[in-house]
A and B are shown apart, each in its own frame.
Chain A
Amino acid sequence: MTAATAKLVGKNVVNRRYFLTRLSQGAACLAAVASFPRLVFAQWNEGAFGAKELEQAIAERYPELTIEDSDAITLKVPAIAENGAVVPVTVKTDMADVSSISLFVEKNPTPLSASFYLTPGSVAEVSVRLRMGETSNLVALVEAGGKLYRAQQEVKVTIGGCGG
């Protein structure tokens, strides 16, 4: 049993029996791990997603990495969001070796919104629609070649007048 699967057995008591049954099929072991209700190799980061301040969220998500601003990242997000419930965001970059892209809405109750994991076969371009509670900086962090790069933009979010 590898360290990763040992951790899995410890954390998913409910799935223990299912896991052990599959384990007994030997060759299907790795496939069994992949078919659990936990898909991504890394754990969903409770500390990062639960952090209430931007700096803390970044530190939890990317511990021990320092940030460098980069204009090689294109962050496409509206300057004035039509409606804070649905704000379209696109991040793209031509940098080499991008392993992840994460989006933070600074003034949201919990700034970390989403984290995308890329593979060597990925093209570093992702889009998502986010909720923004108020006017805030939208921060995109790109992890590439073991370093962390940033692009950010302020997005104005209005409640609206006759929007009702």
Chain B
Amino acid sequence: MRTRLWISIVGSLIAAQCFGVFAESSTETTPKAIASEQSAVAPEDIEAQVNLDVEVFQGFFAKRFSAVEFADYQNGVYALDEPSREQWLEIEEFPPYEFSVDDGETLFETPFANGKTYADCFDNGGINIRQNYPFFDEALGEVITLELAINRCRESNGEQPLAYAKGAIASISAYMASTSVDQVMHPEVASDAAFKAYNEGKKFFYSKRGQLNFSCADCHMRVSGLRLRAEILGPALGHVTGFPVYRSMWTELGTLHRRYAGCNKNVRALPFAAQSLEYRNLEYFQSVMSRGLMINGPSARK
């Protein structure tokens, strides 16, 4: 047990040396100010700050991967690496998640015990709306993700909520995502409360965590495109657009929060619960940063 601890400490030190994560934080990946305690901010100032964040974030990737077209970031690491892109395209030709999308459609259309359906809970009957999630619900004062909305719909109709990481919720979410064709996401941050949630997500993204002491930004900005062992690290820009994803690793669909938990475990940090405040705020921040990209879920990943 102790030997393992030493090995992982030494291993992480070596990894850190290789990737220079102990070096002085460069301004290009760490924003100058993350307000953790803020007084009321005027709406136009919120918009200005968020727009600046988006500009800096998207500009970072434009500069780092100058050959990649903006729209291609929706495909994650496949926008960066040709050999893995080829394999991915072969799988997307007839992707295994098609069965789950069909299951999701059936589940979506099956009425609850009280006779109502999911369509009754959502705008436009739940069709072609994936790009509107996540959003900050001003009345409830929290970030609403698609999966959360699905379960709230169930509960308000007397049904048991579904588990959040995989299974039925992923199938329903995949079906709903598949109905959004060529839809661009552009989440808004329009109030103090929304700005606070956004900043919580932003703080999470840039904070180091876990035994390996990596932040999301360390892997998915600073060393994005480089290899960590056998993995090429995907860019954070466009991270959320393709979910839920069928990972070859899982041989099934999984939600974004399932992947967040996995990633946190990978850096030896305790994961948060799916649909926890932390992960919802993170999803909100990541979605704002991916403004202008198209929704393309579900999709296949390694």
Contacts and interface: CB of A to CB of B under 8 A. Distances in A.
Interface of A: 78-83, 85-88, 127, 129, 158-164
A81 B263 contact: no
Q: Indicate the size class of the contact surface on chain B.
A: 20 to 34
A91 to B, nearest CB: 14
A164 B87 contact: no
Interface in B90-133: 90-91, 96
A80 B83 CA distance: 8
Given A162-B266, A164-B262, A86 B248 contact: yes
Interface of B: 83-84, 86-88, 90-91, 96, 219, 227-231, 233, 248-249, 251, 262-263, 265-267, 302
A163 B251 CA distance: 13
Contacts of B251: 85-86
A158 B267 CA distance: 19
B242 to A, nearest CB: 15
B87 A162 contact: no
A162 B263 contact: yes
A127 B96 CA distance: 15
Given A85-B251, A129-B91, A164 B266 contact: yes
B18 to A, nearest CB: 12
A162 B234 CA distance: 11
Given A82-B302, A88-B91, A129-B91, A164 B249 contact: yes
Contact of B87 (A82, A127, A158, A161): A82
A27 B273 CA distance: 65
5 contacts: A80-B84, A82-B87, A83-B248, A85-B248, A164-B262
A86 B91 contact: yes
Given A88-B90, A88-B91, A164-B266, A82 B84 contact: yes
A160 B248 contact: no
B231 A163 contact: yes
* CB-CB nearest 6 A-B residue pairs: A161-B229, A158-B230, A83-B248, A88-B90, A82-B302, A86-B248
B252 to A, nearest CB: 11
Contacts of A162: 219, 228-229, 231, 233, 263, 266-267
Contact of B249 (A81, A161, A163): A163
Interface centre among B84, B228, B249 (most CB of A within 10 A): B249
A163 B77 CA distance: 13
Given A83-B249, A85-B248, A160 B231 contact: yes
Nearest to B219: A162
B231 A161 contact: yes
Contacts of B302: 82-83, 160, 163
Nearest to A159: B230
A72 B134 CA distance: 53
Nearest to A156: B230
B267 to A, nearest CB: 8
Given A78-B83, A80-B83, A162-B219, A85 B249 contact: yes
Contacts of A82: 84, 87-88, 248, 302
Contacts of A164: 249, 262-263, 265-266
Contacts of B266: 162, 164
A161 B83 contact: no
A107 B265 CA distance: 31
Residue of A82, A85, A162 with most partner-chain B CB within 10 A? A82
B248 A161 contact: no
A77 to B, nearest CB: 9
B263 A88 contact: no
Contacts of B96: 86
Nearest to A127: B90
Contacts of B91: 86, 88, 129
Given A86-B91, A164-B249, A164-B263, A79 B83 contact: yes
